[in-house]
Chain A
Amino acid sequence: MTRPALLLLPVLAALFAAPSLLGDYQTYLLTLTLIWAILAMSMGLVLGFVGQINLGQAAFVAIAAYLSSILRLRYGFGFWSAAPIALAAVVLSAAAVGLLTLRLRGPFFVLVMLAFAEVVRLVIANWQDMTNGPLGLRGIQPPEPLLGLRFDSKAGFYYLVLAVLVLSSLALMRLVRSRTGRMLVAVREDEILAEFVGIPVMRQKVTGLCIGASVAGLGGLLLGPFLTVLAPNQFSLFASVDMIVMVVVGGIGTLIGPALGAVFLIYGPELLSFTSQYRPAMMGLLLILVTIFAPRGILGLIQDTGGLARRRSRPAGEPHGSGR
């Protein structure tokens, strides 16, 4: 086990003990933070490792959240039988959009993903019979018990979210260290060179997008039962931008960074009881300041101040040219 992973153990222990130490409200807040951490991590993979600015990530969250909830509310599915169907739909749609858009260079991908997300949101908002339109789907129940575990309490659901977060981050850590992960980084750094040495560039990028989308889908599955209500405006451009802000603030090109960013941007403001009125303005200002003054985010600042010795050996996943 590597050193950063060891450092995470006390954090994990604290997260595991949290619901019994803290009240219901804090547990609720932590659950929200962890769900956003899952979403931010999915964006972190696409942004930092596939090297694509995906403004349509919220669409994958929306597809998973809506499809699983519609299957449960209208067709009598259980959470656990609806989940794989919804995830499969997310991966399929990611593959379809990916094949269509990833061959385009530069800003086309950004704009087309945005258009795709907008189509998904418009269909949700206008397909009244199925989605209940702008009023939203209501009364989404917690997942049914599985293997003797119950999820209908605040703490029970919290542990489910924690488990999803831990398992998906372990899977992603393995992924970025694997052959696929190294190929992704190679493609991100120099597509033409990567193609020249025989890496199937297109397949790698589509695979990366699909994995990112499926993690976002996992977050989406949890969102319905957590909020009990789903409405189309939760999945606008701003949801994707929020994820990007978390990745950038936390540290791009890492996997821990985005989760840190989620804590900083969801748990932090709530804890200090900022009025939600100023939150968007704060996000905007933070985004500009971090981009201009601290392009490597919180993790970058920590490394600069604390671990000067470690600066020489940067993690392989860090984007080229960011360490100035």
Chain B
Amino acid sequence: MLAQQIANGIVLGSIYALSALGFTLVFGAARIVNFAYGEILMIGAFFTVALMGALDIDFFVALPVAMVGVAALSAVLFYVALRPVMKSSHTSLQAELQIILVTLGLLYLLREAAVLIWGTAPRPIEMGVDGIVEIGDVVMTTKRLVVVAVMGVLVLGLYLLLYRTRIGKALRAIAQNREGAAAIGLDADRIIAFVFAISGAMACAAGSLLGTLYAVEPAMGGPPLLKAFVIVIFGGLGSVPGAIVGGLAIGLIETLAGAYVSFAFKDVFAFLALIAVLLLRPAGLFGRPAS
């Protein structure tokens, strides 16, 4: 029973971690709290569904194509809506407020666009993977194991990108010190646009995987966005390991508290854990203390 719950928690946590990664990347590189992130995730899931339907292709073929599409969309949104306010802002409150307002505006727009284009009815995504796997007492559908595996592959890919490529190095430089990076000739706008693209691709993967477990609908972006908030504060804003550990921790807390304490209040426990972390370690588990 306990082993089964832990396994369920890890599956849930993997999806949470994947959802939080794209969010934390953008915050780390550009100090942008992207409220439209959940909607990008939702649009990504719809892209995958639409591609599978239109071209009659397999989930694992459609997903990479959709990820590229959402990456492009995400970068375009940065150039069209966010770059203008990042340029014109002076004081920090004003800048912070304007960026949050624009991403909130995008949240409304993207959700309504999805409602207009695809309607509100939930749609399933067929992964085409059936059957169950038994390991000792733990029973799990193969689908859920695939979700964990995909998350593993994407995290590895992200790690290689960040630490083994030139653009990854540039990206980390921007995250550490934007003025300094600009002084040595890095084009901050292009790198932030690239981060938005990566973030969009991760969101698309997370949304599509969520869709295979539940369903795809315009309102599906809300809960993952809120979870991403909790996870990144829990793990440390802008920290990639923090998002992974935070995601797994929140997944486990919710599953275990839901099983052993109270199912109705399972979502509340994650928030209580968050408040506890803030009291003890305000910068998050993996965060550097704020300057």
A-side interface residues toward B, CB under 8 Å? 47, 51, 53, 100-101, 103-108, 110-112, 114-116, 118-119, 122-123, 126, 128, 188, 237, 241, 244, 248, 252, 278, 280-281, 283-288, 291-292, 295, 319-322, 324
> Using Cβ atoms and an 8 Å threshold, which residues of chain B touch A115?
226, 229-230, 233, 271, 274-275
> Using Cβ atoms and an 8 Å threshold, which residues of chain B touch A281?
108-109, 112-113, 116
- Of B89-97, B140-148, B161-169, B195-203, which binds chain A? B89-97
Question: Given the complex of chains A and B, what is the CA–CA distance between A114 and B93 in angstroms?
Answer: 18
* 13 CB < 8 A contacts A-B: A107-B31, A107-B237, A108-B282, A115-B226, A115-B229, A122-B267, A123-B268, A280-B112, A284-B107, A284-B112, A285-B109, A287-B101, A321-B89
Q: Flag B106-135 by CB within 8 Å of A: 1 or 0 each.
A: 111101110010000000000000000000
12 further A-B contacts with Cβ under 8 Å, apart from A108-B233, A281-B108, A292-B81, are A47-B97, A53-B100, A100-B279, A111-B229, A114-B226, A118-B267, A118-B271, A122-B268, A284-B104, A284-B105, A291-B102, A295-B98
Interface check B59, CB cutoff 8 A: no
Contact present for A248 and B113 (CB under 8 Å):
no
Identify whether the interface residues of A are mostly helix, strand, loop, or mixed.
helix
Among residues of A, the one whose C-beta sits closest to the C-beta of B32 is A107
Question: Given the complex of chains A and B, what is the CA–CA distance between A285 and B275 in angstroms?
Answer: 34
Question: Given the complex of chains A and B, what is the CA–CA distance between A119 and B96 in angstroms?
Answer: 24
Interface check B290, CB cutoff 8 A: yes
Question: Given the complex of chains A and B, what is the CA–CA distance between A291 and B31 in angstroms?
Answer: 18
Contact present for B97 and A285 (CB under 8 Å):
no
Contact present for B106 and A284 (CB under 8 Å):
yes
Contact present for B98 and A111 (CB under 8 Å):
no
Contact present for A288 and B106 (CB under 8 Å):
yes
Distance (whole angstroms) from the CB of A291 to the closest CB of chain B: 5
Question: Given the complex of chains A and B, what is the CA–CA distance between A110 and B100 in angstroms?
Answer: 10
Contact present for B108 and A287 (CB under 8 Å):
yes
Contact present for A122 and B265 (CB under 8 Å):
yes
Q: Classify chain B: how many residues form its interface, as a range.
A: 35 or more
> Using Cβ atoms and an 8 Å threshold, which residues of chain A touch B1?
none
Question: Given the complex of chains A and B, what is the CA–CA distance between A248 and B94 in angstroms?
Answer: 12
> Using Cβ atoms and an 8 Å threshold, which residues of chain B touch A122?
265, 267-268, 271
> Using Cβ atoms and an 8 Å threshold, which residues of chain A touch B111?
280
Question: Given the complex of chains A and B, what is the CA–CA distance between A288 and B99 in angstroms?
Answer: 9
Among residues of B, the one whose C-beta sits closest to the C-beta of A189 is B91
Distance (whole angstroms) from the CB of B229 to the closest CB of chain A: 5
Interface check B278, CB cutoff 8 A: yes
Distance (whole angstroms) from the CB of B43 to the closest CB of chain A: 14
> Using Cβ atoms and an 8 Å threshold, which residues of chain B touch A105?
290
> Using Cβ atoms and an 8 Å threshold, which residues of chain B touch A103?
282
> Using Cβ atoms and an 8 Å threshold, which residues of chain A touch B90?
320-321
Question: Given the complex of chains A and B, what is the CA–CA distance between A104 and B237 in angstroms?
Answer: 13
B-side interface residues toward A, CB under 8 Å? 27, 31, 33, 81, 84-85, 88-94, 96-98, 100-102, 104-109, 111-113, 116, 222, 226, 229-230, 232-233, 237, 264-265, 267-268, 271-272, 274-275, 278-279, 282, 290
Question: Given the complex of chains A and B, what is the CA–CA distance between A295 and B85 in angstroms?
Answer: 10
Instruction: Take A105-B290, A292-B85, A321-B94 as given contacts and tell me if A119 and B268 are in contact as well, using a CB distance cutoff of 8 Å.
Output: yes
Among residues of A, the one whose C-beta sits closest to the C-beta of B225 is A237
Contact present for A288 and B233 (CB under 8 Å):
no
Contact present for A248 and B101 (CB under 8 Å):
yes
Question: Given the complex of chains A and B, what is the CA–CA distance between A278 and B108 in angstroms?
Answer: 10
Q: Which of A53, A114, A295 contacts B229 (CB 8 A)?
A: A114
Q: Which of A107, A123, A291 contacts B101 (CB 8 A)?
A: A291
Interface centre among A47, A280, A288, A321 (most CB of B within 10 A): A288
Question: Given the complex of chains A and B, what is the CA–CA distance between A288 and B97 in angstroms?
Answer: 12
Contact present for B93 and A51 (CB under 8 Å):
yes
Among residues of A, the one whose C-beta sits closest to the C-beta of B107 is A284
Contact present for A287 and B104 (CB under 8 Å):
yes
> Using Cβ atoms and an 8 Å threshold, which residues of chain A touch B97?
47, 53, 252
Contact present for A287 and B290 (CB under 8 Å):
no
Contact present for A324 and B112 (CB under 8 Å):
no
Distance (whole angstroms) from the CB of A318 to the closest CB of chain B: 11
Interface centre among B90, B109, B230, B274 (most CB of A within 10 A): B109
Q: Which of A104, A119, A288 contacts B105 (CB 8 A)?
A: A288
Q: Which of A53, A104, A116 contacts B96 (CB 8 A)?
A: A53
Contact present for B282 and A291 (CB under 8 Å):
no
